């Protein structure tokens, strides 16, 4: 399946591609009636367009499609490989191969849209902390005209493998490990980080979505890790906005929102943990409101931080 987004994220276009054309879309005979099993990956057919997407996989919107279309789209979403396309940048993601890696999410795409408001011309050295699939770094490589070095760090080796498989660019360097440790003694023109942001009582910080360790370190040590005129671009969720703005205030750095979107919280491990959900609802800004098929909403804000 290919998921292609319009540049302003007003449309999510879903295509069947490659062998899906024979296996799902019914193109299993050629003009002479011979059985066709395989098609090249770049052969595709448009299946549906979803307007104003707020999630990459929006089961509610899909379930409201006409039955045969609905089931076709669910079948495509259950296929092992998804190619994400945004503004000319493409990335092939295979969850089974890249175990535990974070594929491009709506946050990732909003981040890319936000970069439009940033002058990337003066960036030569950049790093992405917690790169996941690598989509954001790939987008930056495609759009920063004077970029000479782009370092991608993640402690999930499969995330780094995914990024490595997708980015064939001599300017890119791939590092498996803890981003905080890696930063020691280094500075950059641009630090990108779409970090974990979900607080948890007695938080642990070792997975893709929870804990504020990265945000805290980056903001507190911005001065040390930014070159003159350098900037951090990050994602601040309403869920932990108060805590993160306290870090910003304490560090004496400046923050400017460059883009934002209201999106549902769709992290099953959090949603299915009553204690955790109560903690978020009581003490933070997770909103309970049933709309568009989802109960819990947050505002994510792509934010520029300067020292």
Ligand X SMILES: C[S@@+](CC[C@H](N)C(=O)[O-])C[C@H]1O[C@@H](n2cnc3c(N)ncnc32)[C@H](O)[C@@H]1O
Please choose, out of 1-9, 85-93, 178-186, 240-248, the segment that lies near ligand X by the rule CB under 6 A. Answer: 178-186
Contact predicate 137/162, CB 8 Å? no
Answer whether 129's CB lies under 8 Å from 248's CB. no
> Given candidates 180, 267, 271, 307, which one binds ligand X under the rule CB under 6 A?
180
**Interface region with ligand X, contact rule CB under 6 A, candidates 39-47, 62-70, 183-191, 206-214:** 206-214
**Contacts of residue 80, Cβ cutoff 8 Å, sequence gap at least 6:** 94, 95, 96
Q: Please, what is the minimum distance in Å from the beta carbon of residue 65 to ligand X?
A: 26
Count of chain residues binding ligand X (CB under 6 A):
27
* Contact between 132 and ligand X per CB under 6 A: yes
- Judged by CB under 6 A, the residue of 125, 154, 189, 259 near ligand X is 154
Binding of ligand X by 82 (CB under 6 A): no
Using rule CB under 6 A, residue 212 touches ligand X: no
Q: Is residue 159 part of the contact set for ligand X (CB under 6 A)?
A: yes
Closest CA to 86 of 108, 59, 62: 108
CB of 138 to ligand X, least distance (A): 10
CA distances in angstroms from 164 to 92, 135, 248, listed in the order given: 11, 11, 33
- Which of 49-57, 68-76, 133-141, 283-291 is the region at the interface with ligand X (rule: CB under 6 A)? 133-141
Chain centroid to CA 73: 21
Burial 65-78 (b: 16+ CB within 10 A, else e): beeeeeebbebbbe
Q: How far is CA 52 from CA 46, 94, 153, in A?
A: 17, 25, 31
Residue 297 touching ligand X (CB under 6 A): no
Q: Is 153 in the site for ligand X (CB under 6 A)?
A: yes
Residue ranges in contact with ligand X by CB under 6 A: 102, 104-105, 107-108, 111, 130-133, 135-136, 153-156, 159, 178-180, 194-196, 208-209, 213-214
């Amino acid at each position: 399946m290919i998921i292609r987004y319009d540049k302003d994220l007003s449309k999510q276009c879903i295509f069947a591609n490659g062998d899906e054309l024979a296996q799902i879309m019914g193109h299993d005979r050629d003009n002479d009636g011979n059985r066709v099993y395989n098609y090249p990956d770049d052969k595709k057919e448009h299946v549906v367009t979803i307007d104003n997407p707020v999630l990459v996989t929006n089961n509610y919107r899909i379930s409201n499609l006409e039955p045969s279309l609905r089931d076709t789209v669910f079948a495509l979403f259950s296929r092992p490989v998804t190619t994400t396309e945004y503004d000319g940048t493409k990335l092939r993601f295979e969850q089974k191969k890249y175990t535990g890696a974070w594929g491009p999410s709506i946050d990732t795409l909003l981040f890319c849209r936000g970069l439009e408001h940033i002058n990337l011309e003066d960036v030569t050295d950049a790093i992405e902390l917690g790169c996941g699939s690598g989509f954001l770094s790939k987008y930056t490589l495609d759009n920063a005209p004077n970029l000479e070095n782009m370092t991608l760090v993640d402690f999930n080796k499969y995330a780094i493998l995914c990024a490595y498989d997708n980015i064939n660019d001599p300017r890119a360097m791939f590092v498996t490990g803890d981003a905080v440790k890696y930063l020691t003694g280094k500075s950059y023109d641009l630090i990108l980080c779409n970090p974990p942001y979900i607080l948890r009582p007695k938080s642990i910080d070792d997975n893709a979505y929870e804990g504020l360790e990265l945000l805290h370190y980056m903001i507190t040590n911005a001065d040390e890790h930014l070159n003159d005129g350098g900037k951090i671009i990050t994602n601040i969720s309403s869920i932990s906005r108060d805590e993160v703005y306290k870090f910003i205030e304490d560090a004496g750095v400046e923050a400017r929102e460059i883009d934002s979107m209201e999106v549902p919280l769709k992290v099953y491990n959090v949603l299915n943990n009553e204690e955790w959900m109560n903690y978020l609802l009581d003490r933070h800004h997770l909103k309970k409101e049933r709309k568009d098929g989802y109960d819990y909403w947050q505002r994510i804000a792509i934010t520029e931080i300067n020292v």
